Structure 1
Amino acid sequence: MIGLVSSYPNAASFDIIKAALPIGVGIASAVYLTAKAAANAGYGTDKSVPTVSLRPGDSTHDKEYREDQDAFVKRCEEECGPTFHLYLFNKFMTVLSGPQIREVFLNESFSASDALDDFTNMNTFLDSMKKSNKNDDLRIVHDLVRDNISPNLPLFTPRIVSQLEVNLEREMATFPEKEGRKLVEEPLKVLQEMSAYVSLTDYLYRSVATVFMGFEVAKSRKVIDTFIVASIDFGRVLGNNRRSVPTWRSYWARANYAILNPLQVHVQTLVEAATPIILERRRLEAEAIEKGVQWDRPDDIMQRLLDNFDKYGFVDLEDVCGHLLILILVSVHTTSDTSTNLLYYLAAFPQHMDKLYAEQQEVLDAIQQEREKERQELAQKGEPMRDDLDPTHDRDLSAAAIKRMVHMDSFVREAFRFRTERLILAHRARKDITLSSGVKITKGHTVIVNVRSMHQGPEQGDEVDEFRPWRFVGKPKSATKVGTDFLPFGMGKHACPGRFIAIQELKTIGVLMVSKFSKIEIQDPSKTKQALLVNLGEPCITGLMFTSRQ
């Protein structure tokens, strides 16, 4: 073969070499990846599916994907079509697009739980916090959220709003002010404190803690601190979903959580804080029974789990607290992350703040008028005034009020659509599967969803590569409505049941921010694009500046 190439190639020869070089690189890449993948369990044996070529110098597709997800996925589609193999996140996977996505979610032989555990050791991590319901494919988390949280949003929302407002005022007061603007260099940390107590993470933890474990337990600084530390551990585990983690490190992590069980210290903290509260509740209940009166049962998730102890198969209070910690980690970690991201979207598109504020005032004005009309009607009938019509609560940010703010809902859904990682939602095959397209997925092989094929597809409307906040206004597509055109929460019967409280909290935070601040700015505008597309759990590397409406 060498003899066929002249030692002094002319221009035509150079053209031949240039034309042949990409083909050679593509063939070499495919051979390399095929050989590498063959050594991995669950290698997809369907040779009809093409493998995406590697860039010269790359040994996997990770680097190119991280540099520009959209450009990389476009190249894959142009080179291979809608279905292709690639080597990403230390795995050889099959990427599925378009109509095939529905088959993945609706076929019980595809397991998201198995794939997530392969990447992150999530099952071992979660099982280390509980004594019952181990190795259940996360069904218990699904059931606890479905039964105890989602149906009670109208009840929990005022509690969350009240705590968020208090903590927001407290936290923002601690940040330096310059020319009428507050500089917050680590918005994610602040949001985490808002939920709990110390900063905008404490802000979220404190508000969520009141819902999950009651006001008394949520007052404990030690409890909030343990939420935050456990959340950091949880974030590290989730972060493995997008890292090429060596096999030895994965085995070490499993052994660490299964044998050393470092998370038990957090469970014990909750047990110590909850025990005196529970004992006092039992005393009050017994006293009420003795007197023959109805006990005013606390309305928090801890009490609900205790009341349904046998239904969920709990072993003891440690087991209950372990499940509560899991619920808090799952809800707050993702909420604080997406809330932070929402603030960057509000900052990147400041022209929409006034529209969101105007909508908020219009909704509250309408509710105030409706409530006043009810009061007048009761007065005309000579009937006593109801407690729920107290005028001081006319402009509360209730669940009903937030539901009417359709522009905020559209803004949130569009932020999810625009931001969601392009290749995500991996599933592992529990048996050999043949898709309707004829593609064969081998047992143990992992498929991953090409979200871009749907989130940036023609069904989204015009200018799909641009952020258009009112894209869904007037359409039956709320931020909680799942489907192939909106996949952040999955779809089908395994769709995330916690999306209702997550979206409620997210919209509540957005509404509060719009009501308190006339402008939010990105400290370093050159990093705007990076801030908008940052992956779940990754910190933004620039702060935010807040201008008060006052």
Structure 2
Amino acid sequence: MLGLVSSSSTLVATDAFKVILPIGIGFASAAFLTMKIVTPNTDKSIQMASLRAGDSTHDDEYTDDQDEFLARCEEEYGPVFNILLLNKTLTVVSGRLIREVFMNEDFSASDAIDEFTGMRAFMHSMIKSNKDVDNRIIHEVVRDNISPNLPTFTPTIVEQLEIQLEKCLGKCEEKLIENPLTSVLQEMIAGAMANVFVGPEVAKSRKVINTFITCTADFGKVLGNSFRRKSAWRTFTTRTKYRTSLLNPMEKHIHVLVEATTPVILERRRLEAEAVAAGQDYIRPNDILQRLLDNFDKYNFVDQEDVCGHLLLLVLASVHTTSDTSTNLLYYLAAFPQYQDQLYAEQQEVLDGQQREREELRKKRLEAGEEVGEDLDPAHDRDLTAAAIKKMVHMDSFVREIFRYRTERLTLTHRARRDVTLSNGMVLYKGNNAIINMKSAHQSPDQGEDVAEFRPWRFVGKPKAATKAGSDFLPFGMGRHACPGRFLAIQQLKTVGVLMISKYSKIQIQDPSKTNKVLRSRIGEPIVTGLIFTSRQ
């Protein structure tokens, strides 16, 4: 640990030869890779869905009406069938068989993502350790350091979201925000996450906030729209770019974090040394940077650049998707204004109850002749705590229903690492890609009535929290590979929703004719109309 800052804190560019060589190899092999990626699966045990007249793939039929296309295929072929989509032969897995894909270690989601996008080279370009393809360090970091400490992080998250909301939007009457994602929500989420991940000393740097936002944009460029036609050439160029220092834009982001964290780490060490010398306990800062430093050897980090690279992976896993989904949350609030009053009433009821509880505790302490204490300062009676947000069950149901209703119908592809026989006897051979039919889970009768409709109170009074992953709710996966960051993501989403409802009496879609397109937008797609905000008086 003592040598952390001094070991490699500068970024050295690779020489030109390392750039030219992979590009030359790429031109020689591009034709072969392209031919390989479009070669149909010859598996005869799983039927290929018929093509619509005049179509050479299923792309257009799927895009025209996802639900109608999948309903046709399920009726004709059952829960497992092949389709030609995104320049790939994909095996659609539906219903109860979905669980077998998620729970079988012979399927790999990361292998599938890498095949489609070259994502692994992008991720590995940021770190020096833990590059094994099945490494779970980020999973462990989130599970051990973020999720169990959400109650202590919540005040910081709420405070930063409020600060950024006031800066970006403030009090207004019928104020048009043409792009809420870039104008408001990226700043809110990036500001909150910077304070949690690297602490307030580092987060005050505008360069750091910009890095949190722009590295996410770079991530989006690599990932691309999750449903557009893929090509081997695009995957190859992505891998080449991120394996080559001169072409890799992530280098600058790591440099920003190294530069910003170095004086902070040195100062923390100085304060710790002083405390030890004085025989006192060092009060450790409550952020993920400190936790990574404290567990430097446990996580097998190499140096400070490596720590900062892993921090960037956390940023990518949180800021990109949370900013996008928060944006969509606002459009759902605008599209269904009839529910805003009930959400606001729920907030007030929960905060009223919290205030009464704290008043009772103050009274009891005074009656017992005890000091009231800072923990019961009346100024914080109506703070948005983790416990208060958890009690807002209508907001939780609203968020879960957005995921259920909006989620892409075919997604979460898994690549078979070896031959796998499903319980219905069908075989997916090594190298086959299984894609999950989310419609069969999210629009099944098990979800209740009117599954094709948006019903925001669908889960109120049921043991179906927005964080509860399972075979009936798949946005975060399931099993041991379920996203451990979902607790942080949902907490932030609900907090954004609560703040917006509490501060704005009216949120409207600029062009109501585009409402349906907005509600079904895919992650990463540009929003086609703005939002109009009016403050509460």
8 Å Cα contact 2:38/2:88 also seen in 1: no
1:533 to 505, 520, 530: 520
8 Å Cα contact 1:223/1:269 also seen in 2: yes
Q: Which amino acid aligns with 1:322?
A: G
Q: Which amino acid aligns with 1:401?
A: A
8 Å Cα contact 1:42/1:443 also seen in 2: no
Residues 246/40 of structure 1: CA separation in 2 closer, same or farther (3 Å cut)? closer
> How far off its partner does 1:75 sit?
2.1
Whether 2:91 is the aligned partner of 1:94: answer yes
Question: TM-score when scaled to structure 2?
Answer: 0.91
Q: Which amino acid aligns with 2:177?
A: V
Q: In the alignment, which residue of structure 2 is the partner of 1:295?
A: 282
1:190 to 164, 183, 194: 183
Separation in 2, partners of 1:296, 1:39: 57
Q: In the alignment, which residue of structure 2 is the partner of 1:181?
A: 174
Aligned to 1:241, what secondary structure does the other structure show? coil
8 Å Cα contact 2:110/2:414 also seen in 1: yes
Q: Which amino acid aligns with 2:110?
A: S
Q: In the alignment, which residue of structure 2 is the partner of 1:195?
A: none
Whether 2:238 is the aligned partner of 1:253: answer yes
Separation in 2, partners of 1:285, 1:39: 57
Q: In the alignment, which residue of structure 2 is the partner of 1:118?
A: 115
Separation in 1, partners of 2:207, 2:365: 48
> How far off its partner does 1:240 sit?
5.2
Separation in 1, partners of 2:254, 2:178: 31
Q: In the alignment, which residue of structure 2 is the partner of 1:342?
A: 329
Q: Which amino acid aligns with 2:476?
A: F
Give CA-to-partner distance per residue, 1:96-144, whole Å, 9 cap, x none: 1011000001101011111111112111111000000113335122111
Please say which of residues 239-248 and 447-456 is displaced more in the overlay. Answer: 239-248
Whether 2:156 is the aligned partner of 1:156: answer no
Aligned to 2:356, what secondary structure does the other structure show? helix
1:318 to 302, 305, 322: 305
Question: Considering only CA atoms, is the larger Rg found in Structure 1 or Structure 2?
Answer: 1
Separation in 2, partners of 1:93, 1:104: 14
Q: In the alignment, which residue of structure 2 is the partner of 1:518?
A: 505
Q: Which amino acid aligns with 1:163?
A: Q
> How far off its partner does 1:41 sit?
8.5
Separation in 1, partners of 2:51, 2:475: 28
> How far off its partner does 1:55 sit?
2.1
Q: In the alignment, which residue of structure 2 is the partner of 1:221?
A: 206
Q: Which amino acid aligns with 1:106?
A: M
Whether 2:317 is the aligned partner of 1:330: answer yes
How many residues align structurally?
502
> How far off its partner does 1:224 sit?
1.1
Whether 2:169 is the aligned partner of 1:172: answer yes
> How far off its partner does 1:48 sit?
3.1
Equivalent runs, 1:31-430 vs 2, <5 Å = 40=37, 44-137=41-134, 139-173=136-170, 180-191=173-184, 200-239=185-224, 241-260=226-245, 261-430=248-417
Percent identity, please.
64
Q: Which amino acid aligns with 1:116?
A: I
Q: In the alignment, which residue of structure 2 is the partner of 1:478?
A: 465
Aligned to 1:158, what secondary structure does the other structure show? helix
Please say which of residues 303-312 and 72-81 is displaced more in the overlay. Answer: 72-81
Please say which of residues 109-118 and 231-240 is displaced more in the overlay. Answer: 231-240
Aligned to 1:229, what secondary structure does the other structure show? helix
Separation in 2, partners of 1:240, 1:442: 27
Aligned to 1:203, what secondary structure does the other structure show? helix
Separation in 1, partners of 2:230, 2:37: 14
Unaligned runs of 5+ in 2: 1-33
Unaligned runs of 5+ in 1: 1-36, 192-199
Tell me the C-alpha RMSD between the 2 structures.
Answer: 1.6
Residues 138/414 of structure 1: CA separation in 2 closer, same or farther (3 Å cut)? farther
Separation in 1, partners of 2:414, 2:432: 9
> How far off its partner does 1:333 sit?
0.4
Q: Which amino acid aligns with 2:447?
A: Q
Question: TM-score when scaled to structure 1?
Answer: 0.89
Separation in 2, partners of 1:56, 1:388: 69
Q: Which amino acid aligns with 2:468?
A: K
